[in-house]
Amino acid sequence: MAAIQRVLVTGAAGALGSRVCARFSEAGLTVIAADLPQAVPAESTEIHADADDKNLHWIGLDLREPAAVRDGVDAIEKNIGAIDALVHCAGGFRWALMGEVSDDDIDFLLDANLRSSLLLLREILPKMKAQNLGRIVLMSSKSTLNPQQGEGPYAATKAALNALTKSVADEVKALDVTINALLPTVIDTPANRDAMPDSDFDKWVTRDQLADIIFGLTQPTGAPINGALIPVSGKM
């Protein structure tokens, strides 16, 4: 059973993605940190090394665009090496009652949560299968199990990731390739604290806790776990 060496983390400039990048880098792995071109250092679509972390390489990727995803994956393989693990932290949330959900809400949620996942897996999974090594972690949501009012459109796009996880897990079950999805409740981020200032933050899942769980799923001890939908509830 081979150990992973290189991990692609999407949403790398965000609150969770940045912690995930740090967790893998601290372990000595090569991290390719992807986010929208305007969110990465130098606003570049070219791969470039982080100024402070020798293990970290940035790339700007618009995950809504098939050509951008294809070209980005090819550039990573050419300049860094094969992608052994994918941690897809990029995504988005919109709260809307069904009669009030806008066209923009629908497009945003489908693009951020489902379309990005499909495009990434279409490019990366065949390569992982060919090298017989791969670890994939998707970020779903606990709301897919019991969505409350206003969460329907968001939960529907995240529930699609649950189905995708199960299907791909069956596709790769004979290989040293795994895919799992985390289903967190509220993640303790600055944005969530600002949005819900009266909440008990101690009940929320921390970014470091999620990063540790993600890291564990990519390690040899996590290899037997495949197709799991893992609730991460904190104290809620």
Cα 63 from Cα 123, distance rounded (Å) = 12
| Domain edges within the chain | 6-232
- b/e sequence 85-109, b meaning 16+ C-beta within 10 Å: bbbbbbbebbebeeeebeeebeebb
Rg over CA atoms, the chain: 17
- pLDDT tens-digit series, residues 138-159: 999 999 999 999 999 999 999 9
Amino acid in the structure at residue 42: A
Query: In the prediction, which pLDDT does 90 show?
Result: 97
- Closest listed residue to residue 4, CA positions, set 86, 120, 126, 74: 86
Pairing assessment for the beta strands 229-232 and 177-184 based on DSSP bridges: parallel
Cα 158 from Cα 210, distance rounded (Å) = 17
**What residues contact 70, with CB distance under 8 A and at least 6 apart?**
123
Furthest C-alpha separation in the chain: 51
Tell me the percentage of the chain whose pLDDT exceeds 90. 80
Cα 14 from Cα 99, distance rounded (Å) = 31
Cα 34 from Cα 60, distance rounded (Å) = 6
Cα 3 from Cα 215, distance rounded (Å) = 12
Query: In the prediction, which pLDDT does 101 show?
Result: 96
| pTM of structure | 0.94
pLDDT for residue 1 is more than 70:
no
More confident residue, 187 or 39: 39
- How many other C-beta atoms are found inside a 10 Å radius of the C-beta of residue 3? 10
3-state SS assignment for residue 79: helix
CA dihedral 130→67→139→177, nearest 10 degrees, is 0
pLDDT category of residue 51 using cuts at 50, 70 and 90: confident
| Assigned fold of 6-232 | Rossmann fold (3.40.50)
pLDDT category of residue 233 using cuts at 50, 70 and 90: confident
pLDDT category of residue 42 using cuts at 50, 70 and 90: low
- pLDDT tens-digit series, residues 75-133: 999 999 999 999 999 999 999 999 999 999 999 999 999 999 999 999 999 999 999 99
3-state SS assignment for residue 183: strand
Query: In the prediction, which pLDDT does 123 show?
Result: 99
Q: Token digits for 231?
A: 């609730």
- pLDDT tens-digit series, residues 6-31: 999 999 999 999 999 999 999 999 99
Q: Token digits for 225?
A: 């776990």
